[in-house]
Amino acid sequence: MGFALFSPSKEISFSSLESISQNKNLKHVFPKTFSRLGELNREERGDGVVKKGSVSSHLVRGHLEGSFVRKKQLKEPSTKLDFVRTLLIDNYDSYTYNIYQELSVIDGLPPVVIRNDEWSWEEVCHYLYEEKLFDNIVISPGPGSPTCAADIGICLKLLLECTNIPILGVCLGHQALGYVHGARIIHAPEPIHGRLSDVEHNASELFNGIPSGRNSGFKVVRYHSLVIDPSSLPKDLIPIAWTSSHETIPFLDGFEGQGDLNTYGKSLSTKLENGLQWHPAESQELRTRDILMGIMHCSRPHYGLQFHPESIATYHGRQIFKNFAEITKDHWSRLQSSSDSMRDFYRSARMQVSAVNQLFQEVARSKPLMNGFDNLKHVGLCNLMKSSPRSRFAKYLKLKWRKLECSANQVGGAGSIFSELFGSHCAENSFWLDSSSTEMNRARFSFMGGKGGSLWKQVTFRLSNKSYSNTTSGQGGYLSVGDSDGSVTNTYLQKGFFDFLNQELESICYDAADFDGLPFDFYGGYIGYIGYNLKVECGASLNRHESSTPDACLFFADNLVVIDHHCDDVYVMSLHDDDTGTTSWMDEVEQKVLSMKPHHPTKPLSVASGDVSPTQGFSAEKSRQQYIADVEECQKFIRDGESYELCLTTQMRRSVGELHSLALYLEMREKNPAPYAAWLSFPRENLCICCSSPERFLRLDRYGVMEAKPIKGTVARGASPEADELLKQRLQYSEKDQAENLMIVDLLRNDLGRVCEPGSVHVPHLMEVESYATVHTMVSTIRGQKRPDASAVDCVRAAFPGGSMTGAPKLRSMEILDSLETSSRGVYSGCIGYFSYNQTFDLNIVIRSVVIHEGEASIGAGGAITALSNPADEYEEMVLKTRAPTKAVVEYQSSILSIDDET
C-alpha cells in the first residue's frame, strides 16, 4: 500500500491542545507561511519527503472536554433552513473557488472564504458560536499533508472541537479528518492527478441519489499522492466510499457508456445505530485492498472525500454538495431546542448578510495585505473588491473612428498595411496584435499602431529588489513614463504595477456611444506585455530570479488601425482628451492605405531547411541530462503531494547582434501563423518581441464575459496525411495529455470563479484538438460572467500568471519551479495584449516567441510534468516547442548572410 509518511510513533509533537486552546496567539503552531521548498537543503529532505513540523495525531475524542467550545452551546433551529451559510476554508489551493461556485448555487448564498491561517482560534469561535454566522464548514483541498501544521493550519482544530457543526473535507480536508482521529497518512500506490476512477459507496446520506460501482456512471476525478491507510482507520471513522478497481479511466472513455444512473449496489445490510448501512465482510476486504475515497465520523456530522466533487469531469459532484446541504439542514432541524432559540435563529438569519459584511470589514482593517492579494481572497458574502476611487485627475476621452472604403486584401493584407504605415525606422515604438491565423474562427481582429498623438506614452515598470528577497514579500517597483515629446518621468510605486494600471483605467471617463457599431472591443488604451515576475503582485511570495527585461512595458495607444479579418474591413481610430481633437491622423492614414497598390506579399527570405540546424548557434540553458533530472525532481514533489502538475521551463539563447527584428517577425508569421501572435518594439529598452502564440490567456469583452483558452497537450505534425491523423488521434485519446489539460481547466475555472458571478463559470469546449503549421495542441475553453464589482485589472490579477504556465496548486507550484529553474522567465510565460480604456482586455500567453533584448535572442519552452510523465519524452516535447522559433531565427540570419555573400 506504500509506506507511512508520518505515523503517531514518529511524529514531532507540539504541546498539548489544551495549552493551544488557551494560547491567544496561535501563529507559532499555525504559521502564516509554510516552509519554502526551494530553500531546504537536500539533507533536510528525508526519503524525498520534505521534513516539516507536524501536528500530533494523538487527538482523541473527549481530549478537549471543558474547552471553550464545549462550554458554548449552539442554538439550533427547529425547521429546515431556506439557505445555508458556509465557511469555506482555503488551504492555499487552486480549486477552492470551484467549490465556492458550486456552493453559491446550492446554498442560496455564496460562502465566506478564508485562508487556513487567516483567523485565530478565538476569531473562529467568535464567528461560529457567538455570532452564529455559519451553518456548516467545508475544508478545501490543498498541497502538502495534514501532518504538516503549515499545510493544514487551523483545520485540525476545527475537526476536533466543532463536534456539532457539519463539516465536509475534500482531499486534504478528507485526509485531515482521518489524521486528526488517529489514522495514518501514507503514499498512495500511485499518484493520481486529473484522472478518473469508478467509485463504490455504501449509500450513506452524502451519496443519496448517486449510483455506485464499476460502470454505474459514478466516475470521479482524483488529485492526490497521499491517502488514508485504511488499516489504521479508528473505530470512530466509517469508510463510506472506495475505488471500484485499481484502473483509472481516460476522460473520453469515462464519459462514454455511462450506463443506468439508477443502478445501485444491492449487497447492503447490517444497519448501524445512526442509520448508516454497512457492507458485509466480503466488501470490507475489498475496501482494504482498494483506495479509500470517503469516510464519515460515527457520531459527528463530519465527512471526508478523497476525490474532487468540484471538478468539471466528476459525475454527480453537484449532487454531493446538495446532499451535504441537506445533511446540514436536517442536522439543525433535529437539534431544535426552544421557540426562543428559533426566533433568535431567524433574526440572525435575516441579519446574516450585513453581519458578515461587517465581519470582513473588521478583518480587512485589522489584517495586513497578503502579497497584495487581499481583495481577491475574500470573495464571499461581502464586497471587499471595490473599484479604485475616481482620481481627482480624471480625464474624459473622446473616440473618433471610420471604416475605410477598401478591403484589407485589396491593398495586400495586414502585413502590407503594417509595413507601409509603421515599418519605417525598423518599426520603432510600434505594436501589432496580429491574428495571422484565423482558421476555425480562432481569432478575428488585428490591432496595429505606433508612436503618435498627444496622449501616446510608454510606461515601463521594474520590480524593486524587495521582490527577490527571501525575507521580504515586496511588490513595489520603479515606473518610467515617456511621452511623445521625449520627456521621461520616474516614480516609485509602493503598491506595484497592477494597482497603478487599475487607477489609470478607473480615472478615464467616456461615452459608450462613441464605439457603437464597432464589432471589436479595443478602442485605444494600454497595449504591451506583462512579465512573469509580476506574479508577486498576484499572490506569489517572492521571485528567486531577477528579469533582465522590464517586468512590464506598455504603450498608451491613442491612434490605431484595426483589421477585421472575417469581413476584410479596415478601421482607423483616434482618441482625444476633448471634443475638439482633429482628424488629421486618420485623414493621413486613410490616404496612405487607399493609395496602396494591390500586390502579393513578398516571399519570405529563406534557405533550404537541410542547410542549417534548427538550433544552430543557440545555447541551451540546461543540458538534456539536467533537464531530465529536473523533471524527475518535479515528480518527487508530485509524489509527496506538494503539487499535482508542475510546468517546468527553460531557455535557449543566441547572440544576434543588430538583427532586423520586424523582418524576422514577418518571416515567422508567414511560416508559423498563430491566432494570438504579436510584434512589440521598445527601442528605449533595446527590446523587440516576435510572438507566435496559439494560446489565449484571458479576455473580457464589453458584455462582461470572461474567456480563457488554455493549451495542454502538444504533438508534432505528421509527415503524411495518414501519419498526421494518427498523431492527432493519439493526442486526443492520451490519458496523460487529458489529465494535464483537465488539471489546468479546473485551475482556470477556479481563477475565473474568484471574480465571476456565482454559477456562471462553465466549459463550452473541453479537450478539443487544434492543428497548426508544426504541431497539434489540445485546447479547452472556460467562460464566466464577471461580477460588477470586479475591475478589468482585478480579473487579470485573479488569474495571473496563466495556469498553463505554472501548474496546480498555483502558489506552491510556482515556488517549487522557482527553486528548480535557474533564471527568470522574463517576458516568456507572461502575457501580451491590450487593456482598452473602457475596461475590456484580451491577453495571450507568451509562448513560441523570440525575445530580442540587447543583441541576444532568447526562446523559452517547457511542458507540464505529471506523475505520468516520461522524463526523456518531456525533454523532446520541450525541444519541439522551440523548433519553429529557433528555426526562424537561424534561417533568417543564414539568408541574410547568403545575400551579403552574393553582393
Residues known to be catalytic? 171, 308, 310
Strands 398-407 and 569-576: antiparallel
Contacts of 402 (CB under 8 A, 6+ apart): 571, 572, 586, 590
Q: Decide: 843 and 61 in contact? Cβ < 8 Å.
A: no
| Cα gap 456→458, rounded to integer Å | 7
**Maximum distance among all alpha carbons in the chain?**
100
C-alpha cell at position 867: 506523475
| Cα gap 678→606, rounded to integer Å | 21
In DSSP terms, which residues pair with 863 in a beta bridge?
648
Contacts of 218 (CB under 8 A, 6+ apart): 198, 199, 201, 210, 211, 212, 315, 316
Q: What is the CA angle 540-779-315, rounded to 5? A: 85
Q: Which regions of 625-686 does DSSP assign to beta strands (E)? A: 645-655, 676-682
Contacts of 363 (CB under 8 A, 6+ apart): 118, 119, 123, 378
| Cα gap 435→414, rounded to integer Å | 9
Burial class (CB in 10 A: 0-12, 13-18, 19+), 405: exposed
C-alpha dihedral (170, 171, 173, 178), degrees to nearest 10: 120
Q: Is the previous residue joined to 871 through a cis bond, with omega within 30 degrees of 0?
A: no
DSSP line for 296-331: EESSSSEEEESSBTTSTT-TTHHHHHHHHHHHHHHH
Strands 136-139 and 569-576: unpaired
Closest CA to 694 of 885, 891, 498, 411: 885
Q: What b-and-e string marks burial along 430-439, b requiring 16 or more CB atoms within 10 Å of the CB?
A: bbbbbbbbee
Q: Residue ranges of the alpha helices (H) in 139-217? A: 149-152, 155-161, 172-180
C-alpha cell at position 258: 455511462
C-alpha cell at position 593: 492605405
| Cα gap 110→134, rounded to integer Å | 12
| Cα gap 159→166, rounded to integer Å | 10
